[in-house]
Amino acid sequence: MFGMNVKEIDAQQFAQWVEEDGHKMRVIDVRQMEEIAQGTVPKAEALPLHTLPIKVNELDKSEKLVMVCRSGARSAQACMFLQQQGFSNVFNLRGGMMAWV
C-alpha cells in the first residue's frame, strides 16, 4: 500500500512479538498526544510524527522499531522517513490501533 520498501506486520504478529521474552523491539506511537491519551499498544513510547525529524537522533539504528498510529498511514510515513535516514529494521503495524483493538 505504501511501497514495497515499508515492512509491515499485522496485529497478530505484533501481539506475538510483545509476548516473546527474547524479542527485543522498541514500539513508537506517532499519533498526537491527545490520541495517545485515549490508549495505545503495549510498550509504546509517544513520539508524535511531527517531532520525528527533530528526535530521530534519539533512536538507535540497530534496534528493531515498530511504528504505530491510528490506521497505519502516519506510521508508514514514519517508516519511510526512518528508512531514508538509514534505519533498516523498521516495521509498520498494518491497520494501526484500529486493527489492534
CB atoms within 10 A of CB 27: 20
Cell numbers linked to 91: 516495521
pLDDT in tens, 9-47: 999 999 998 888 646 899 999 999 999 999 988 889 999
Rounded Cα distance between 92 and 89, Å, is 10
8 A C-beta contact, residue 73 and residue 49: no
pLDDT in tens, 45-96: 999 999 999 999 999 999 999 999 999 999 999 999 999 999 999 999 999 9
Q: Name the 3-class secondary structure at 79.
A: helix
Q: Which of 6, 30, 41, 69 is catalytic?
A: 69
Q: What is 7-100's CATH superfamily?
A: Rhodanese-like domain (3.40.250.10)
Q: Is 69 a catalytic residue?
A: yes
